[in-house]
Amino acid sequence: MNCLLNEKVVKSEVPELAKTQTAHEKRVWEYRIGELMKTEQVLEGDLYNLFAVLMSLCDSDIKNKVESMTEFPVLKKKLDSMGLLSMIKKLVYMGNMNDLNARHKKAMAHMNLMNLYQEKFKIYKTSGINMLH
């Protein structure tokens, strides 16, 4: 499993069953293996849920663009949420996956966001709504 926070492989050590074990040691081993399998299933489920949530937060245009990219099936198979976020970021800020004029497009996206805030403020100001209270 990949830990998304620092991209570190997280894998529990599988306890080995000794050839000469007592009945108690065998039961402890069976319990530890069972717990390990449950943990791996939970972690994989969490990764799947995170991937699904990220995809559900995309609007239909971005979602279609992401799903049509050649890297998407690999990301989906690996449940690579960081890779998915990277693809979404590139599509949102740059409009496509090439790095042509990336800084300009990022700045334009930021300016458009600020213009949106200013327009919203003007609407409140003209309607007489006090935004400070």
> Which pLDDT score is estimated for 19?
73
Taking residues 37-65, report their average pLDDT: 86
Taking residues 24-36, report their average pLDDT: 85
**Is the same domain home to 40 and 14?**
yes
**Is the same domain home to 118 and 72?**
no
**Is the same domain home to 114 and 61?**
no
**Is the same domain home to 95 and 112?**
no
**Is the same domain home to 93 and 129?**
no
Task: Output helix, strand, coil percentages for the chain, rounded to the nearest 5.
Answer: 70, 5, 30
> Which pLDDT score is estimated for 115?
77
Domain ranges, residue 121: 101-133
Tokens of 104: 């300009």
> Which pLDDT score is estimated for 123?
66
Q: What percent of the chain has pLDDT over 70?
A: 68
Q: What percent of the chain has pLDDT over 90?
A: 5
Question: What secondary structure does DSSP assign to 6-50, as a single string?
Answer: TTEE--PPPPPPPSS--HHHHHHHHHHHHHHHHHHHHHHHHHHHH
**Is the same domain home to 30 and 83?**
yes
Looking up tokens 């849920």 gives: 49
Tokens of 23: 């009945």
Tokens of 126: 């003209």
Task: Convert the pLDDT of each residue in 52-105 to its tens digit.
Answer: 888 888 888 888 888 999 999 999 988 888 899 888 888 877 665 455 566 666
Mean pLDDT over all residues of the chain? 76
**Is the same domain home to 84 and 105?**
no
**Is the same domain home to 65 and 86?**
yes
**Is the same domain home to 82 and 133?**
no
Please give the tally of structural domains in the chain.
2
CA distance 79 to 46: 10
> Which pLDDT score is estimated for 11?
63
